[in-house]
């Protein structure tokens, strides 16, 4: 695993330890009216547009995009919603990605879209920290523990999004009850992007679903910069895409989101 990812895992461990040993019994999602991501994807598809999850991402390993305090996060999320995003992903990892739980809360208060908490979840106590509609679980990090984290997330009312990067991780994901599988085009060892990752793995999920009478929503994640990139992964079988950097680097998040949302037209 790349040094920056190892660093994140170490700092996350330290942060989680500071949360104390107690697991709260209180529901982290009290009176939380869940926003249905699967229905939102279906609605966007029915409308002939691309379901795009847009990400509020202040920084990534080795790159700083913009300072995003909670008010700015809310403003960005509002622009994304207006431009037709299907959901908003909010980085909450406070170190390398410079995200925050405050951003997550501010965004969810501002928009009506489902909100994804994007972090490195390694401990069940993190599920007590804040409510969100979706939560990212990374197969390559959780390994054999993935299944129990998926169950716990479901129990707590989160819709888990299980992220995979290769066949081995995909097999782990398919053994769980997750309905959402994210194919990360970025390799966590090298941080290099290759959209062929989606082309390799999406057909395997389709095949599995046909054989088992199941149905997964496939989300292609990372490294998409243009409508062509989006068309490529949708062609490969993705149902939705997750885009961060290209939006953070653009002058108008509204215009750029719209460009991605309209990059394929089925009508």
Ligand X SMILES: O=P(O)(O)OC[C@@H](O)[C@@H](O)c1c[nH]c2ccccc12
CB nearer to ligand X: give 44 or 139. 139
Residue 187: CB minimum distance to ligand X, A: 11
Provide, rounded to whole angstroms, the least separation between the CB of residue 136 and ligand X. Answer: 6
Instruction: Choose between 184 and 198: whose C-beta lies nearer to ligand X.
Output: 184
Q: Minimum Å distance from CB 210 to ligand X? A: 27
Residue 98 structure tokens: 């410079």
Nearer to ligand X, 10 or 214 (CB): 10
In the structure, how many helices (H) and strands (E) does the chain have? 11, 10
- The torsion angle over the Cα atoms of residues 95, 155, 130 and 181, rounded to 10 degrees, is 40
Query: CA distances (Å), 246 to each of 59, 199, 250, 253, in order?
Result: 12, 21, 6, 9
Closest distance of CB 188 from ligand X, Å: 8
Question: Closer to ligand X at the Cβ: 2 or 124?
Answer: 2
The least CB distance from residue 142 to ligand X, in Å, is: 12
CB of 36 vs ligand X, minimal distance in Å: 22
d(CA 228, CA 236): 12
Angle at alpha carbon of residue 69, lines to 66 and 74, rounded to 5°: 100
* Torsion angle of the four alpha carbons 73, 189, 234, 60, in this order, in degrees rounded to the nearest 10: 20
Give the β-pairing of 87-91 and 240-243: unpaired
Compare residues 245 and 263 and give the one whose CB is closer to ligand X: 245
In the complex, the smallest distance separating the C-beta of residue 200 from ligand X, rounded to whole angstroms, is 17
Nearer to ligand X, 135 or 224 (CB): 224
Helices (H), the chain: 3-18, 37-46, 70-82, 101-110, 139-142, 146-155, 167-174, 196-212, 227-235, 245-248, 253-261
Contact 53, 88 (CB under 8 A): yes
Using CB under 6 A as the criterion, which residues of the chain lie in contact with ligand X when the complex forms? 55, 57, 118, 163, 184, 221-224, 242-246
For the chain, the first-to-last Cα distance in angstroms comes to 43
Q: Choose between 77 and 242: whose C-beta lies nearer to ligand X.
A: 242
CB 179 within 8 A of CB 217: yes
Tokens of 138: 């990374």
CB of 198: closest distance to ligand X in angstroms? 11
């Amino acid at each position: 695993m790349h040094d920056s990812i190892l660093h994140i895992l170490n700092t996350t461990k330290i942060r989680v330890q500071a949360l104390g040993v107690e697991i709260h019994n209180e529901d982290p999602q009290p009176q939380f009216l869940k926003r249905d991501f699967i229905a939102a994807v279906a609605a966007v598809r029915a409308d002939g547009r691309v379901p795009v999850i847009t990400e509020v991402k202040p920084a990534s390993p080795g790159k700083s995009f913009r300072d995003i305090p909670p008010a700015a996060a809310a403003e960005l999320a509002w622009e994304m919603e207006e431009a037709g995003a299907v959901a908003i992903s909010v980085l909450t990892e406070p170190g390398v990605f410079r995200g925050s739980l405050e951003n997550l809360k501010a965004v969810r208060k501002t928009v009506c879209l489902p909100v994804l908490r994007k972090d490195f979840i390694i401990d069940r106590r993190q599920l007590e920290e804040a409510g969100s509609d979706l939560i990212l679980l990374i197969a390559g990090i959780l390994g054999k523990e993935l299944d129990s984290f998926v169950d716990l997330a479901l129990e707590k009312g989160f819709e888990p999004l299980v992220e995979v990067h290769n066949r081995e991780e995909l097999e782990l994901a398919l053994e769980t009850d997750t309905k959402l599988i994210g194919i990360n085009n970025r390799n966590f060892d090298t941080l290099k992007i290759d959209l062929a990752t989606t082309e390799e793995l999406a057909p395997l999920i389709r095949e599995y679903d046909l054989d088992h009478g199941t149905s997964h929503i496939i989300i292609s994640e990372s490294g998409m910069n243009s409508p062509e990139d989006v068309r490529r992964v949708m062609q490969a079988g993705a149902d939705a895409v997750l885009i961060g950097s290209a939006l953070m680097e653009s002058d108008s998040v509204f215009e750029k989101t719209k460009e991605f949302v309209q990059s394929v037209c089925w009508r």
